[in-house]
Every structure is written in C-alpha cells, then in structure tokens.
A and B are shown apart, each in its own frame.
Chain A
Amino acid sequence: MREYLAIDGNTAIATAMRQINPDVVAAYPITPQTSTVQTFSQFVADGLVDTEFVTVESEHSAMSACVGAAAAGARVMTATSSAGLALMWEIVYVAASNRLPIVMLVVNRALSAPINIHCDHSDSMGARDAGWIQIFSENPQESYDNMIQAVRIAEHPDVLLPVMVCHDGFITSHGLERVEIFDEGEVRDFIGTYKPQMPTLLDIDNPVTYGPLDFYDYYYEHKRQQVEAMRHAKPVIIEVGREFGRKFGRSYSLFETHCLEDAEVAIVVLSSTAGTTRVMVDRLRAQGLKVGLLKPRVFRPFPAQELVEALSHVKAIGVMDRSISFGSMNNAGPLFLELCAALKIYGGDMPIVDYVFGLGGRDIVPSQIEQVAHELLKIAETGERGEVVRYLGVRE
C-alpha cells in the first residue's frame, strides 16, 4: 500500500533504507552525521530491518567498515555530511576503486573553516573525482526515489560503482514535505535480491584478495576499467529511471528541464534551488520572458553531450554554483567549469556566466533568481557577456 507522509528528507532516506533492508549499515553516530542514521538505528532497534548496524569511531572507519562488508558480499549503505565526508576521503576512493556498490546519502553541507553546518555543495563537489556516481536530489521525494534507484544503479553488473545520493542540508534534509512512500514489497521487487557480481571474502571455496598492491604494471589498467564503468553508468541510470517510472509513476533521467524547449536563456542549477527557480521561471514566463530551467540530476557521470544538446538553442546560459573551485578558471564553481568544457567539445558558443550563491547556507531568494534571469536576457540581447563569475547575495 502506498501512503503519503509529511516527513523531512533525512527521514525519507531512512524510510527508503528500511524498505531496502541492507545487510550492513556502518556509520559514525554523532555529528556531522545526519538524522537519517539516527532514524535508521531506531528501525534496527525496533527489529524492522535485518541490518547489522555498525557504529564506528570515525567517518574514516565508517567507510572502511562499509568497504569490508561490501567485499564480504553484503548490500551496504551509509550516510554522511560535510566534514564527515572529508574525513572519509581516503576510503571514498578505495570503495570506488575496489568496485564496491555501496550507496551513501550525502547531506550537502559546507566544509570548515569557519565552522558552519548549513547547506552548500563543497563536500560532494570535492569528491567529484573519486569515482563515485553522484545523484543530486531536489526535495525529499526525489531523495527517497533516488535512494531506491541508486541500489539498482550501483549493483548493475556493467557498473559496480558506489553511488552518492545528495540532498541539500537543512533545506531538504530537515524540511518537512509531502512524500509518497511506496509499498515495501514493491520496493523490494524493484531492487531485487542482492547477488554479488564478484568473488567475495566469505566465499571460502573461491579465495580472493581485495585491495592488494598494484604497481605501474597494472594500476593504470584498473583505472581504465573504472572509466569504462562510468561510461556504462549513463545508460544504466537512464534505464533504471525509466523502469522506476513505469513501476512507480515518476520517471527520471540524467537531468530535468522546465520551459527550456523555446527558452532564450537558461538557468542551470542543482538540487533544491531548482525548485525555487522553477517557480520563478513560471512567473517570468507569465510576463512573457522566455526563461528556461535545466536541473542536472546526475553530476557524475557528467552528461556533457546531452546537456549541450538540450541547451544548444539558447542565447545565454547562467550556471548557479553552490560551491567554489578555488583557483580554477576565474575561481568559478564546478558545475560551470564542466559545462564550459562540454560546450567547447560538443559545440555551443553562446555566452555563459557563473553565479556563485548560497555558501554556508546563505539564503537564495526568488528575487535573486529573477535578477539572474534579467541579466541573462540582457546578455542574450546585447551579446556581451560581462563578468564571468558573479556572486549572488554576498555583501560588498
């Protein structure tokens, strides 16, 4: 039976985890941990899941325990945020390189210093080259839906990569919204029984070594294999999103557009801010202004060619970045940099600018998105790009 609950994003994720019923969840139990793990530990205590819940002394150990459990053949999930992800760093790479299909919630929150617990994308953007698939969710419903799909994507035999499901700290993680929760049986049918694709540590008839020394003679080949897995991930993400739509009624792909087909200018933005932007696009459209929205859902693998095709007709693009790649070209954000590269390779010479916003949880308000739209329309009209990187909402 499907039901509608008023829950926050972290509870939506914990609910998805309860229905997925993973074999092992290893997590650091205190801050910067998320309430997802707290809620899930209650499900464990109440006997609602069969999960072995491992509390560890650090996030580095949390991911290490996940790696060990996954290598032993378990379906493994965890959650983290901000400094927690930073402390996991070394093992985040190990999980991807060992090709272990771990699924992890990352509640996007700012990194220290100064200490800040609020939303921006610095944490997961820093991990963008670690070899994980990264899916960004706009709201609690998407978080719930993405968590369920992430299991299928990660475990697909052509992929076998860990997946980060990201949502915005506090805005999505702690904001109550209406969330459709599926029947548990339907969720379990969708994800299926876990069958490890590789020999596992507990299979004593087929002994295997995980994580051995790998020098100049083979390390490179293993990295090349990871590239291939990322290439396979794209069609798998699309197919799983379609199948999810057929079963549950909401389809997903690599990105989502709103009023983009006939737009003169496009705003490209991830996660919860796409919701605010969608509302503003509708208001601006009512005024006759041809503004469109493109919300990437999947940042890794980056759907470069697909994004360029979707944007090819617009006269100006404004990217909104909730993190900074310090020292990069014009100190821009990662989303902007990737899209610039994609436009160079796949063709698109329209002006493109970057709007940094919302760092450390700074509010992003509709009037600022309206400002972005008007600036883009002016760029489209004059053909003059002006400042490459602009800062929304920072005090001068």
Chain B
Amino acid sequence: MPELKGWKDIPIGGLIVEAGNAVEYMTGGWRAFRPVRDATKCIHCLMCWVFCPDSSIMIQDSQMAGFDLDHCKGCGICAAQCPTQCIEMVEEGRIED
C-alpha cells in the first residue's frame, strides 16, 4: 500500500491526472474463485481474451498464455464462454500455491 497523501498534496475535485494508473490497483485481491486452465484442452481461440472485462488474459505469440492474477477478479466469464471447457473456477482456499 503506498503512503496516503494529505489533502494539500492531491489534485482537487478527485481528478486523476496520471493516465493508465488503474494497473496499479491490484483488483486480484477481490477474487474468491481462481480460473485454472487445462492447457492440453485449450485451442487458443482467445474467446476468453475477448470477453475478459479486466484484460487479465495474457497472450504470447497469439496464444493464450495464462491469467494476470494481480488483476483477475475471478468473475468466471472466461470459464463460462470457453468452447472446450478448459477453464475451471477453483475456490481460492483450495488452491495450493
């Protein structure tokens, strides 16, 4: 957590004057269910990338490469629309890191 600034040191009106700083907000902390992919079943159609509302599908060489877990909120849209059902939403408490 960055140090919080006082009222004299922040832009007035609640303005955000730095572009693209949403990336610094780790929304992955909200997640209750984590998407887990079975790479052997994935056909790299990238429908998950199209639907992900948080741009949390990582792509490498036009292939599905994994999830950005710092920002994935665990909404499950990727799992719901996956044509091969290769994504499973697993409760965070059951995940062994």
Contacts and interface: CB of A to CB of B under 8 A. Distances in A.
Interface in A190-216: 198-199, 206-212, 214
A225 B12 CA distance: 7
B17 interface: yes
B14 interface: yes
A222 B14 contact: yes
B12 A99 contact: yes
Interface stretch (B3-11, B38-46, B48-56, B66-74): B3-11
> Chain B binding site: helix, strand, loop or mixed by DSSP?
loop
Contacts of A228: 7
B14 A212 contact: yes
A210 B19 contact: no
Contacts of B10: 218, 221-222, 225
A66 to B, nearest CB: 15
Given A217-B4, A222-B7, A225-B7, A198 B12 contact: yes
Contacts of A2: none
B15 to A, nearest CB: 6
A101 B66 CA distance: 47
Given A160-B12, A198-B11, A218 B17 contact: no
> Chain A binding site: helix, strand, loop or mixed by DSSP?
loop
Given A217-B4, A225-B7, A211 B19 contact: no
B15 A208 contact: yes
A97 interface: yes
B6 to A, nearest CB: 7
B12 A199 contact: no
Nearest to A211: B14
A222 B16 CA distance: 12
28 contacts: A97-B13, A97-B14, A98-B13, A98-B14, A98-B15, A99-B13, A100-B13, A160-B13, A198-B15, A199-B15, A199-B17, A208-B15, A208-B19, A209-B16, A210-B14, A210-B15, A212-B16, A214-B14, A221-B5, A221-B7, A222-B7, A222-B12, A222-B13, A222-B14, A225-B7, A225-B13, A228-B7, A229-B12
Interface of B: 4-7, 10-17, 19
